[in-house]
Structure 1
């Protein structure tokens, strides 16, 4: 017998967060999310998302045993900005049992339909600014920081539940040995050409973080406005994310492009802390996880470029290539061996071409699914 239970208590929320640790216990590529971070993300009293939208997590039990989870999400700001009326599902994890998956996803569908949605999209773990997409190619190695991971059988569970592909998201890998050195060698010339147009590149100033974040927020909310599922962050949401990122940001990998003292583009790379988190049992920082996190950062050998955007009027000037080139140039003497650039929409030809020009390999693919309800 399968029972679906809404998460309403702190104990149930902990069970919801911990379920993947048991499901993936024997998978060497699984990286546990930090418990505290997930708890904040799912707590309506802590995360700014819930000031404008809503979500309801559910647990699935089969014969009394916990066998799956999902969250139904209704993002009011997303619907208003994109002029749609859809819900999302996220945090989907399940044993390889189609009946369990069907009941979980049907529950999410019914919940968002009751809110007025006529379509459901996912997996999206709250918003597209959080982890989203189902891994469909590239199961051979662990995910990079803030990227999802799942078993291959999830593809069948979701497609057999009536969902169809909406769009694929790409992740590219650049390694030190195979990177196009020419792009780095030409960087000075490319930047000199930009400077003749009054465009300069510089590292972010962490000592003036609040002001820098405000400048970047304006670009972020404009440069991504045509991306699938994008919705501008509220001020509270942006600073919530920025505060967390500040703890791991290295200025060498956060580059802004300016013209007339106005930020017109930026790229953000972060150390791949998953190299550490993969060894933190069940995502708990206490009693020993905190030390692994603090002392392990110096040994990280990969980074993830998770944001790169340029305002419309300044695209096709080569700014994107310069931003990538500057990060790669800064990474080379720092012991970094590889960088992931993710994620890009399948049809974002301009950005995909810029990345492929530096000999990046398309090594992982993620998928968003949808279903009319």
Structure 2
């Protein structure tokens, strides 16, 4: 008999975060989070995402043993403003037992029904900056710090329980040796002259901070047309600035501005921390932070995290300037591979950016959804 237990203490929240460490123990492809950071991100008193999102956290119990977990999330901005009556679920993990996955999703659907929502969908986080989707291809490829990993049986459970694919995502990678860098240098120079643009590079996190608000404003503008987009609020921007900017190598952040200094394009990449996080095994101390510092300095793979382009500059080749600047940095750092994090299949504009890089699709994932049965 599976019991669903709602979390009510900080100790239970730690158990929620630590459950995947047992489930994926010995798995060479799963990348663990830092436990304390993950717990802190669920703190409703400090994470501003909870100003417009409600979340409840549950553990599936078989006797005294934890056998699954799930977060049930309502994003009030999308429900009330966008009229997308979706009951989100995320951070879902379970043993290969259909009674466990069913009990977890039944609880999510029950909450959605109580809130008079139309459907459940996940795995999704609180906002667009969270991890997304259940992995459906690429189980034997190392995950990243910004994606969820799961066993192949997850998607099969969802299908058996009546869920169908919702949003579909691609993950790709390419080798820098396959890129005609001289071509991009020439094209970047042409675009700079044509539109009177210039690149801004950074040597310290302190130099980045004055641009963060403008960067997220551009992010909101760039992605507003996508069906699933929820804007990032001012308080979230302040929270993310404090939490992440100092963590990202300043050299891996590229801004392009016009002749008046207005930001028209930005892009954030980061060294791959996957192996370092595996070695840290959820803890920064006593040695976990050393593995992360080493990866920050010496990783030969770069993870493409985010790009934003002002609507009036889209499809005008400004990404050539961005990549030209990245190639300069990667050459100095000895980076040889770029890993692209999940991108919506429907976002054809972003896929056009990569077409000349000979990208290889190495993973696919999707959200799964199901209509909530009405009384």
Q: Same fold (TM over 0.5)?
A: yes
Per-residue CA distance 1:305-349 (angstroms, 9 max, x = gap): 111121111111011243234323421231212111222110222
| Structure 1 unmatched runs, 5+ | none
**Aligned residue runs from structure 1 range 48-197, under 5 A:** 48-177=48-177, 179-181=178-180, 183-197=181-195
Matches within 5 A, 1:1-373: 1-177=1-177, 179-181=178-180, 183-204=181-202, 206-259=205-258, 260-281=260-281, 283-373=282-372
In structure 2, runs of 5+ residues without a counterpart are none
Q: CA RMSD in A?
A: 1.7
Residue range with higher mean Cα deviation, 191-200 or 216-225: 191-200
SS in structure 2 of the partner of residue 186 of structure 1: helix
Q: Secondary structure at the match of 1:303?
A: strand
Q: Which string of whole-angstrom CA distances, capped at 9 and with x for unpartnered residues, describes residues 160-215 of structure 1?
A: 121111121111101133x322x543323333333332222222473333321011
Number of corresponding residues? 370
Q: Deviations over 1:63-102 (max 9, x none)?
A: 3311000010000122234321211000000000111101
Q: TM-score of the superposition, structure 1-length normalised?
A: 0.94
Given that 1:267 and 1:324 are in contact with CA atoms closer than 8 Å, whether structure 2 keeps it comes out as: no
Q: CA deviation at 1:285?
A: 1.6
Report the Cα distance in structure 2 between the residues aligned to 1:206 and 1:64, rounded to whole angstroms. 46
Alpha-carbon distance in 2 for matches of 1:108, 1:213: 35
Shift of 1:293: 2.5
Partner Cα separation in structure 2 for residue 147 and residue 174 of structure 1: 18
- Report which stretch shifted further, 47-56 or 194-203: 194-203
Partner Cα separation in structure 2 for residue 189 and residue 27 of structure 1: 43
Q: CA deviation at 1:49?
A: 1.1
